[in-house]
Structure 1
Amino acid sequence: MRKLLYGFVILIFILTACSSKEKPAEKSKSTEKQTESIATEKPIESGYKPKEVEYYDIENVDREFTDVEKELLRHPGIYSGDQYDEGKVNEALEQLPDDLTQEQYLEEMLYLLAEDFHEEMQTLVNFDSSVEVNVDRPDETVNSPTLKTAHYAILIDASGSMKAMSGNKTRMEAAKAAVKEFAEQVPENATISMRVYGHEGTGSDTDKKLSCSSSENLYNDHFNQKEFQQSLDKVKPAGWTPIALALESVKEDIPENTDDVVVYVVSDGIETCDGDPVKAAKELVDADIQTVVNIIGFDVDDAGQTLLKEVASAGNGEFTYVNSERDFKNYMKVQYEEIQKKWMEWKETGKSEAYEIKEQKKELAYSTKESMKAKSIQEKERLKMAQIYLKDRFADYDHPASKMFSMIVDYGDAKWRYAVDTGNQAWRESVDNGNAEWNDYVDEGNKKINETIDKKNE
């Protein structure tokens, strides 16, 4: 049976060949008539109207978009993404004329199949790879929407009793040395003031009124070692002890827009001017500004300790009794340790936030890149399928639609490459900027911590 079928096929081939040889003249005449007819007829316009292409716009871009960027901003095709329907796409392809150029066929195919990249483009074109962490430095609230400011107010007792010796120094000399060391540890963005009280007149009854009404601000600014020392040198022990007056007057020293205030009162005795320092401390704390009043008593007797403890309690602070320069410095060291702790917390918070922001931006760059890659691949494959359909429809090797494969591949690859290059660049910049910010917090934090440790160990 197979031999018979084979012979039948051969016979058909031979007959067909003979028939072909017998009709060349007719074919030639037919061709001549067809040519003549075409020559005499007027050209028929196809009536083809190309689709109007629309593009998305991205604001705040101060440069011209590249060709591939413009294509990525093209409005999506009517069968793009989840709207894809191969049957409907093929129906639309059937309606296309057979005399378009490759470029025109591609435009028609994109009108049907172009993917929507505009959200990814919005992300990449305006991608902000900067990593900036704004952690409030010590004595300021972390994660506050506005920068908080801190003020340290030091009130120094200049009563005559501060002339008394404490070890090999006077109480005043020891107090000055410790106050200076503390002032040097105040955060750079904070302000510091120095107020002296009881510094006028003498300790005599005749000078009581003058001395009890004396309270003067000698310094109020960010810490400047030279200027602060010059102001501290002016403090001389002289008269009585108006602690209440100093607490009332310190309100004048607090800068506007200050959020937190820490008041340190240095005294060697009780209120001797008939004031009420407990009431003054409470009123100071009850003000709108968050205030803590700390009392440092120097060689204070039992009555003085009791009063100063009450003042500190009213001021939400603490009373510390010191009977020597060593005790005074030990107390100050505790303050240094608190500042050191805050710098460590500041450093760790900054590191953590820098890392978190970096990771978020890395993920955004990566996910955007991968989304664009996936869409570009899907778009290219669908365009290739549409090209195959047109190629089969026209069944002509020389037809423009049959020679579009490379054009489609190049078009799709250009979008894919843009996604990879731009996404990778955004990712790398996020990494570099995040690492730089992380290192800044480490360097500054370590510097401040070491400075505080050095001062504490002196």
Structure 2
Amino acid sequence: MLHSQRSFMLATIMALCLTACAPLELSSPSSSNRASTISLRATAPQPMLKRKLTPFEQTLMRKPGDLHGSQFTENKLQARLATMKRTQSADATFRQLLQWLHEDYRRLVMETANFSTDINPTTQQPANTIILEKPTHFAILLDASGSMAEKVNASTKMQSAKKAISTFVSNLPPAATISLRVYGHKGTSQATDKALSCRSTEAIVPASTYNATRFSQALDAIKPSGWTPIAASLAAVEKDVPPQAEEVHLYLISDGEETCGGNPVQLMSQLRQSTMRPHVHVIGFRIDDAGQKALKQMAEAGMGTFTYVDSGEELDRFLRAEHQRLMREWLHWGQKNGSEALRMRQQKMSELDRLLMRWKSTADREMNRMKLALRYLEQTGYPPTQREKLKQLIQERSDQFDAYLTETRRSLQAAIQKSGWEAWSDIWDEGAHQMRKAMEN
């Protein structure tokens, strides 16, 4: 709730920003009530508000009486009543009491007119793909050693790997960054080229968001040729990760173990302990038992997973399954934001309750002081006919407040409920839609 002057100023600024919003209509208490016809209109200029004020609200925007709030004492009131002519009309007496006792409702009116019922969960809703709550980078390390030219069924290992990787990256979140690093792509698998080949590791797609043409051209240019410098590739991969990435997924695809004398297990352990802390996924492509053992040890050092695939189809299925695992981020997104929408709805309800309690407390204070004045007048010779009429006017004003607060509660609660359920429904509809798309890919 807004209890301070600073908060009051912030509410005014927000009101200026929201003037273009569609107004929330509040019906006002009946204009036939006599109290409304004799209440004074606002004398202070009205600020820009989110919606038009009701007639009753307009009457409450007047300057408060000089005996409002803490300015009031019973002795001050009695002293003024003692000088009041007992022959004046009840209407004149009521107006006089309002001039003295009218509470300061201006802030309450502004807060009510500007009360936002909008419910917008904080996590951005994605447009057409999965949402990643953190800036995420996908680093792909691809073996380009000579053995990747081996045929499995109708395609070479390299051809199958290129196809699977291409499908995988095309379905990643648009906001994610991706890098593709190859190793062993220079020289040949001959001993004379070993030094050259073991130094060969290159980010042929530097970190960037997905670009189909760039990725396709980079994949097409890869020719399997040399040795297998896995450790050298791992030593260089940190350079591929943009500094803003808060989460890194590292996919290493190889059809063999390290052949350049490096220690990929140690390198993977160091990566896991670095600030990068990647989620490691090691894929062994039709690899022998010794190679499987070496790659498993590497995956364990990175606290990651090792997967053996026997063909291009299996590799494609693995990466598709991996994509679907990532797409389940939608489920978490829906759960988080759906719960957030319901929490925000309850929070709005609580804010409204607190606002209405302040309204009631302020209106009750004014009414109680009006009734105190009436009792004093009764004891000091105020004519019975005038007394009954004044009592009626005070009751009509009390009824106006009751009607206004009842309608305010009804209207704003309905708007909060509508906004909350619409936000919740939109979240789950979008989540379900994207989950269906994920399963279709």
Does TM-score exceed 0.5, indicating one fold? Answer: yes
Counterpart position of 1:195: 181
1:3-402, aligned counterparts within 5 Å? 58-59=8-9, 60-61=11-12, 62=16, 63=47, 67-71=58-62, 77=68, 91-92=78-79, 94-98=81-85, 105-106=93-94, 109-110=97-98, 120=108, 123-135=111-123, 148-219=134-205, 220-369=207-356, 372-373=359-360, 375-376=362-363, 379-380=366-367, 382-384=369-371, 386-387=373-374, 389-390=376-377, 393-396=380-383
The 1:84/1:121 distance shift into structure 2, 3 A limit, reads: farther
Shift of 1:435: 2.5
The 1:268/1:110 distance shift into structure 2, 3 A limit, reads: same
Shift of 1:289: 2.2
Q: Unaligned 5+ residue runs, structure 2?
A: 17-46
1:209-241 residue CA offsets vs partner (Å, 9 max, x unmatched): 222222222223222344433332222212221
- 2-structure distance, mates of 1:452, 1:234: 30
- 2-structure distance, mates of 1:202, 1:412: 94
Counterpart position of 1:419: 405
- 1-structure distance, mates of 2:204, 2:396: 77
Q: Which moved more, 1:306-315 or 1:107-116?
A: 107-116
Identity of aligned residues (%): 30
Aligned residue for 2:267, secondary structure, equals helix
Q: Which moved more, 1:401-410 or 1:220-229?
A: 401-410
1:9-54 residue CA offsets vs partner (Å, 9 max, x unmatched): xxxxxxxxxxxxxxxxxxxxxxxxxxxxxxxxxxxxxxxxxxxxxx
Say if 2:281 and 2:306, in contact at 8 Å, map to a contact too.
yes
The 1:73/1:350 distance shift into structure 2, 3 A limit, reads: farther
Q: Which residue identity is paired with 1:249? A: A
Aligned residue for 1:155, secondary structure, equals strand
- 2-structure distance, mates of 1:252, 1:188: 21
Shift of 1:179: 1.7
- 2-structure distance, mates of 1:215, 1:174: 21
- 1-structure distance, mates of 2:365, 2:188: 93
- 1-structure distance, mates of 2:223, 2:65: 80
Superposed CA RMSD: 3.7
1:60-90 residue CA offsets vs partner (Å, 9 max, x unmatched): 424258633425976873689xx997xx688
- 2-structure distance, mates of 1:57, 1:310: 59
Shift of 1:453: 0.7
Say if 1:78 and 1:112, in contact at 8 Å, map to a contact too.
no
- 2-structure distance, mates of 1:426, 1:111: 31
Shift of 1:363: 3.2
- TM-score with structure 2 length normalisation? 0.75
Shift of 1:298: 0.6
Q: Which residue identity is paired with 2:68? A: G
- 1-structure distance, mates of 2:201, 2:81: 97
- 2-structure distance, mates of 1:56, 1:247: 55
- 2-structure distance, mates of 1:338, 1:75: 68
- TM-score with structure 1 length normalisation? 0.73
Counterpart position of 2:36: none
- 1-structure distance, mates of 2:302, 2:131: 18
Q: Which moved more, 1:210-219 or 1:192-201?
A: 210-219
Q: Which residue identity is paired with 1:238? A: S
Say if 2:145 and 2:224, in contact at 8 Å, map to a contact too.
yes
Aligned residue for 2:328, secondary structure, equals helix
Which structure has the greater CA radius of gyration? 1
Q: Which residue identity is paired with 2:123? A: V
1:430 and 2:416 are equivalent in the alignment: yes
- 2-structure distance, mates of 1:194, 1:343: 26
Q: Which residue identity is paired with 2:355? A: T
Comparing both chains, which one has the higher relative contact order based on Cα–Cα distances under 8 Å and sequence gaps of 6 or more?
A: 2
The 1:203/1:106 distance shift into structure 2, 3 A limit, reads: same
Q: Which moved more, 1:372-381 or 1:205-214?
A: 372-381
- 1-structure distance, mates of 2:418, 2:273: 48
- 1-structure distance, mates of 2:251, 2:289: 20
Shift of 1:154: 0.6
Shift of 1:379: 3.6
Q: Unaligned 5+ residue runs, structure 1?
A: 1-54, 142-147
Q: Which residue identity is paired with 1:386? A: A
Say if 2:132 and 2:329, in contact at 8 Å, map to a contact too.
no
1:105-126 residue CA offsets vs partner (Å, 9 max, x unmatched): 4466457755676775575355
Counterpart position of 1:12: none
Say if 1:154 and 1:265, in contact at 8 Å, map to a contact too.
yes
Q: Which moved more, 1:378-387 or 1:208-217?
A: 378-387
Q: Which residue identity is paired with 1:347? A: G
Q: Which residue identity is paired with 1:124? A: T
- 2-structure distance, mates of 1:313, 1:129: 51
Shift of 1:204: 2.0
- 1-structure distance, mates of 2:79, 2:97: 9
1:347-369 residue CA offsets vs partner (Å, 9 max, x unmatched): 11211110111122023224533
Aligned residue for 1:290, secondary structure, equals coil
Q: Which residue identity is paired with 1:197? A: Y
Shift of 1:166: 1.3
Q: Which moved more, 1:234-243 or 1:404-413?
A: 404-413
